[in-house]
Amino acid sequence: MDHFDCEVLIVGLGPVGAALAALLADAGVTSIAVEKDVSVYPLPRAAHFDHEIMRLFQQLGVADEVLSHARPAPAYEFRAADGRPLVHIPVSPRPAISGWANGYMFNQPGLETALRARLSASPLTQIRLGRRFESLAADAEGVTAVVAGPDGPETVRARYLVGCDGASSPVREALGGRLSSYGFDEPWLVIDAVVRPGGRVPDLNLQICDPARPTTCVLMGPGRHRWEFMLLPGETAEAVLGDDFIQDLLADWDVGQAIGIDRKAVYRFHGLMAETWRAGRVLLAGDAAHQTPPFAGQGMCSGLRDAANLAWKLKAVLREGAAEGLLDSYQAEREPNCRAYIELAIAMGRVVCTLDPEVAAQRDAQMLAQRAAGALPLPPMAPPPLSTGVIAPGTAGSGSQFPQPWTEVNGERLGLDDVLGAGAWLIVDGPLPGAGQAPPSLRIVSLADPLLAPFRAALGAWLGEHDAAAVLVRPDRYVFGSGAAGELMRGYAAALG
Ligand SMILES: Cc1cc2nc3c(=O)[nH]c(=O)nc-3n(C[C@H](O)[C@H](O)[C@H](O)COP(=O)(O)OP(=O)(O)OC[C@H]3O[C@@H](n4cnc5c(N)ncnc54)[C@H](O)[C@@H]3O)c2cc1C
């Protein structure tokens, strides 16, 4: 049993599995990704990702390719049936903390194709399409999975297995993993359209809170638009997917000649959370671990944050002698963040999915009054920082996202992440500590290093605001902690176990 085909077996090559494989390859970890389908999933799904995810694409070297399938997100507005704005979330004129626009609207198949192209160039990743995961057996050393391939069953043995196999996750089933539900469960018809040249469609994202037919209308990647219509009681998926029915629904939007329908599907929008994300050497990520209604555009983003969180911890355990218990911090850190986004999405969904006209009228009156008073009648748009896991609690900024300042070299934008590269960083204003106690992949860099010259003012300002001589930034760009360099290094080494 001591032969291993790879270090990590990834089941499912959706966006989360693909990003995890790419991050592991960058970390020098071998993986095999098995995927039951032979091509990218053809039905409508994610349309939005946020700036943190764009930073991840930058880290993976696919930012330019992804941007060719994306455009900055416009303002987001919830409207009453009579057109009055209930909530208006404007576009921030300033870049987000990551240095990118706050959000992007995109075409998911284009993104997935870009991620797969990135993987096919990596010698550390094997992609095996047309392979269906069937079962697993875990032991003290690793996991052996049985996969049905074109020539019959195959086995793959790995140190760890990560189920990135989506909402119905056979890996989660194999673990007997239970899902807890938020009790939000609404059926919607989703229509993706190609906008013909010169075609006019709305230029902001809209939730039409009309109790007669709650409707979403959002931008996607360049030249694409999406409409979503809530199913009313008694309507079936089969009926609403009919061409005539769809034409009737779109009639109010006056886009008949402007668009061509590209993809359509009926989904149930719900909020679900797997109770256990790790059983020994088997872990879950993405929709396998949690599902989010799409109103905040965060389901895939949450899954990609899982991949970013898990990849560096797997590397630390597999390559750097970190204790396996480090992997317990994965769910501890990620679950509260996912829950915050699910709760935000459900709060938005409850506003939109109101079918009772009287309740809708009361809602409108209340929200208009809140708006007039300058309040946002929704939970916070950004979740709180990490409060547990691999952080130095109580030190300023710990658990928050570390900013990425940018500069321009020969007309090209260059970010701090491009200069310092993958892995954890210890940025020190003052004498550097001896590297003796440092974890192997920690990059220790002085603020005086010429490399940091273009970013010195921004980094110095961060340290000044946090009253710290040093900051230790984790590989997923969350702050481990700030303070004295030697203490941070020792604390980080101890946290890795
Ligand atoms: C209408 C809609 C709108 C959405 N909008 C947004 C949005 O704007 N922003 C956002 O961030 N998210 C959004 N989401 C959510 C987002 O699409 C998902 O969270 C995301 O696709 C999940 O990625 P994943 O890789 O975890 O799973 P998936 O994309 O489902 O990929 C799982 C993969 O596993 C494979 N697989 C399954 N079983 C097996 C098996 N036995 N063996 C091998 N392979 C297997 C599947 O074929 C699939 O390729 C939306 C979802 C919907 C439905």
Structural domains of the chain, with CATH:
6-68+106-180+271-348 (3.50.50.60), 406-496 (3.40.30)
Bridge partners, residue 259, by sequence: 195
Angle at 440 between CA 414 and CA 280, to 5 degrees: 105
Q: Which atom of ligand 1 is nearest to the CA of 48?
A: 8
Cα separation, 298 vs 412, whole angstroms:
30
Question: Is 219's C-beta closer than 6 angstroms to any atom of ligand 1?
Answer: no
Question: Is 46's C-beta closer than 6 angstroms to any atom of ligand 1?
Answer: yes
Question: How far are the Cα atoms of 177, 221, 222, 265, 266 from residue 190, in angstroms, in the given order?
Answer: 29, 16, 18, 5, 6
Would you give per-residue pLDDT tens digits along the chain (497 residues)?
Answer: 469 999 999 999 999 999 999 999 999 999 999 999 999 998 889 999 999 999 999 999 999 999 999 999 999 999 999 999 999 999 999 999 999 999 999 999 999 999 999 999 899 999 999 999 999 999 999 999 999 999 999 999 999 999 999 999 999 999 998 999 999 999 999 999 999 998 899 999 999 999 999 999 999 999 999 999 999 999 999 999 999 999 999 999 999 889 999 999 999 999 999 999 999 999 999 999 999 999 999 999 999 999 999 999 999 999 999 999 999 999 999 999 999 999 999 999 999 999 999 999 999 999 999 999 998 888 878 888 999 999 999 999 999 999 999 999 888 899 999 999 999 999 999 999 887 778 888 999 999 999 999 999 999 999 999 999 999 999 999 999 999 999 999 999 999 98
Closest-CA residue, ligand 1 atom 29, reads 14
Question: Is 34's C-beta closer than 6 angstroms to any atom of ligand 1?
Answer: yes
Neighbours of 277 (CB within 10 A): 28
Cα 328 to ligand 1 centre (Å): 24
Cα 164 to ligand 1 centre (Å): 9
The H-or-E segment that residue 346 falls in is helix 328-352
The H-or-E segment that residue 325 falls in is none
Cα separation, 275 vs 50, whole angstroms:
26
Report which of 59, 53, 50 is spatially closest to residue 419, judged by C-alpha positions. Answer: 59
Cα separation, 245 vs 95, whole angstroms:
41
Contacts of residue 244, Cβ cutoff 8 Å, sequence gap at least 6:
none
Cα separation, 223 vs 194, whole angstroms:
6
- The position carrying tokens 């075609």 is 199
Closest-CA residue, ligand 1 atom 50, reads 46
Instruction: State the DSSP code for 477.
Output: S
pLDDT of residue 2: 67
Cα 71 to ligand 1 centre (Å): 21
Structure tokens at 396: 């300023």
Ligand 1 pocket mutation pick from 9, 13, 35, 45 by most atoms within 8 angstroms of CB: 45
219, amino acid identity: L
Neighbours of 148 (CB within 10 A): 16
Cα 209 to ligand 1 centre (Å): 27
Report which of 225, 145, 181, 169 is spatially closest to residue 17, judged by C-alpha positions. Answer: 169
Task: Look up the pTM and report it.
Answer: 0.97
Cα 193 to ligand 1 centre (Å): 20
Question: Is 132's C-beta closer than 6 angstroms to any atom of ligand 1?
Answer: yes
Cα 166 to ligand 1 centre (Å): 5
- The position carrying tokens 């000649």 is 257
- The position carrying tokens 């049985």 is 146
Q: Is 233 helix (H, G, I), strand (E, B) or coil?
A: coil
Contacts of residue 295, Cβ cutoff 8 Å, sequence gap at least 6:
207, 216, 269, 345, 346, 348, 349, 352
Q: Is 12 helix (H, G, I), strand (E, B) or coil?
A: coil
Closest-CA residue, ligand 1 atom 49, reads 14
Question: Is 172's C-beta closer than 6 angstroms to any atom of ligand 1?
Answer: no
Structure tokens at 336: 């509260």
Q: Is 8 helix (H, G, I), strand (E, B) or coil?
A: strand
Q: Are strands 6-11 and 31-35 parallel, antiparallel or unpaired?
A: parallel
Cα 57 to ligand 1 centre (Å): 17
Cα 45 to ligand 1 centre (Å): 7
pLDDT of residue 1: 46
Closest-CA residue, ligand 1 atom 45, reads 12
pLDDT of residue 158: 98
Cα separation, 71 vs 142, whole angstroms:
42
Question: Is 439's C-beta closer than 6 angstroms to any atom of ligand 1?
Answer: no
Cα 287 to ligand 1 centre (Å): 6
Cα separation, 302 vs 18, whole angstroms:
14
Q: Which atom of ligand 1 is nearest to the CA of 17?
A: 25
Question: Is 472's C-beta closer than 6 angstroms to any atom of ligand 1?
Answer: no
Instruction: State the DSSP code for 384.
Output: P
Question: How far are the Cα atoms of 61, 213, 364 from residue 83, in angstroms, in the given order?
Answer: 42, 14, 11
pLDDT of residue 410: 87
Question: Is 177's C-beta closer than 6 angstroms to any atom of ligand 1?
Answer: no
Neighbours of 231 (CB within 10 A): 18
* Cβ–Cβ < 8 Å for 401, 97: yes
Question: Is 190's C-beta closer than 6 angstroms to any atom of ligand 1?
Answer: yes
Contacts of residue 43, Cβ cutoff 8 Å, sequence gap at least 6:
263, 265
Question: How far are the Cα atoms of 80, 299, 391 from residue 215, in angstroms, in the given order?
Answer: 11, 19, 42
Question: Is 166's C-beta closer than 6 angstroms to any atom of ligand 1?
Answer: yes
Cα 108 to ligand 1 centre (Å): 10
Ligand 1 pocket mutation pick from 66, 165, 282 by most atoms within 8 angstroms of CB: 165
Structure tokens at 322: 């970190």
